[in-house]
Structure 1
Amino acid sequence: MSSAGGEISQTLDRGLKVLSLLAEHSDGLTAGELAEQLATARAVVYRLLRTLEAHRLVGRIGTRYVLGIGISELASRLRPRLQAVVLPILRRLSTQTNSTSLLSVADGDEALILLTEEPPQSTFHLALRQGARHALELGADGVAILAGRPPSDDDSSIVRLARSQGYALSVGVLQPGALGVAAPISTSEWASASIGIVQLGTEVSDPGVPELVMSAASEAARRLSSDFSAETPA
């Protein structure tokens, strides 16, 4: 099997496709359903699933297979790099929008606020606690992460809207009298982080804020992807 960049591993390719398919189906898939989607013999799929289970990348609920806890563990190892790459971007975004900016990461079905930056010239602004958590479905930062993943039948209308416009907006969801704008950091088909801002009010202070947030998230994704490429042996 080959690609534009040369030969690739067919087995690894199938294994990654299994993970992508499971990511698209939060209620899981059976081995038969996976075999049908991959147009592959069921025996081959069982071997893939056993290997992925051994690395905790896949779990099982009855006869259905779902993404495993190992996915979250791999994502957690990205956090130190996220902090180093994203901090200067957050500082600039905070100054540009006169808002508190934040980096959130998915931790299971919760959004974890990993980094925050407060606007240096603002007298009144919202302060966020690093380490705070909330459900992914609540708040612009969590919704943006969900919007950066493949579409699912379980997606709410808010997630679908965020996916279509490229950013999520929430008003008064986590804090009365405050709003949030966030965009996913998309380094793959499965987003695990977002960049956003929070500010006082019920309307975005400037119509250009969503574009600034999306631009910041895109820059973070480019820098992270470049970082990974630089470490990949030639």
Structure 2
Amino acid sequence: MTDAPQAQGPERSRSSETSQTLSRGLDVLALVCASDTGLTPAQIAAELELSRTIVYRLVGTLVEHRLVRRNADGLLSAGLGTLALTQNFAPTLRQGSHEILETLAEELGATAHLSIADGDEALAVAVVEPRSTTFHVSYRPGSRTPLELGAVGQALLAARHGERKTFASEGKIVAGACGIVASLPGISGLACALGVVTLAGTDTAGWDARVRAAAVELEALLNQ
């Protein structure tokens, strides 16, 4: 009697109740979507510890469903079909983050926001303004700013590199406003940052710790 073959590499952690083929296909898709430059089948095979034959078969299926695209240079990148999978993602982020942002906004008397990296821009997907203040900075959901500007961009770049950091800036995006933003490096496949923006000159002592705590809380919630 021989022992059943044991899965190698990443496959060892798979639950017996999951589909191995589907899991492998999703691993390939996640790896391709996380690459800024594109990947070759050989690179995917090496990273996931799979044979090239398996990778070619999985890639063929993903290409057929427009989830992966074969570029002219032979590299594989995310296909247009992935847009359909993410079209309701922003509303999910808004709903999941609202209570945490609302609490933060009321506690600090500042506008709280959640942003994600979209290419080389920061995209505000959720914004909650405080109700208890006479004056505060208005921040519109859907606003876009270059990643190289301000604390939001710095935090999103840190999240992309798996770094948990907090940043502060003043007048970089809006004159007369200052912001404190924390990165959320634990959201797989997505660079997120949570922060607050307020009027320049406001006493923000201790705010960085509160923003960090809110970011950790939201990260745990989104990973449930």
**TM-score, scaled relative to structure 2:** 0.76
1:144-190: CA deviation from partner (whole Å, max 9, x where unpaired): 344333x3xxxxxxxxxxx5343343433212343322234566422
1:63 Cα offset (Å): 0.9
1:34 aligns with 2:44: yes
Q: Take 1:204 and 1:164, find their aligned partners in 2: how far apart are those partners?
A: 27
Letter in 1 for 2:219: A
Report if aligned partners of 2:170, 2:179 keep a CA contact under 8 Å in 1: yes
Letter in 1 for 2:105: S
1:106 Cα offset (Å): 4.1
Q: Take 1:188 and 1:178, find their aligned partners in 2: how far apart are those partners?
A: 28
Matches within 5 A, 1:118-137: 118-137=129-148
- Give the paired residue count: 213
Report if aligned partners of 2:158, 2:164 keep a CA contact under 8 Å in 1: no
Report if aligned partners of 2:151, 2:181 keep a CA contact under 8 Å in 1: yes
Aligned twin of 1:51: 61
Cα pair distance change 1:167/1:59, threshold 3 Å: farther
Q: Take 2:111 and 2:164, find their aligned partners in 1: how far apart are those partners?
A: 22
Letter in 2 for 1:76: Q
Q: Which stretches in structure 1 are left out of the alignment for 5+ residues?
A: 152-162, 227-234
Sequence identity percentage:
38
1:203 Cα offset (Å): 8.8
Aligned twin of 1:66: 77
Higher relative contact order (CA 8 A, sep 6+): 1
Cα pair distance change 1:72/1:210, threshold 3 Å: farther
Letter in 1 for 2:32: L
1:91 to 102, 106, 117: 102
Report if aligned partners of 1:104, 1:142 keep a CA contact under 8 Å in 2: no
**TM-score, scaled relative to structure 1:** 0.73
Report if aligned partners of 2:164, 2:184 keep a CA contact under 8 Å in 1: no
Letter in 2 for 1:213: V
SS in 2 for 1:190: coil
1:103 aligns with 2:103: no
Higher Rg: 2
What's the Cα RMSD here?
A: 3.0
Aligned twin of 1:8: 18
Aligned twin of 1:144: 155
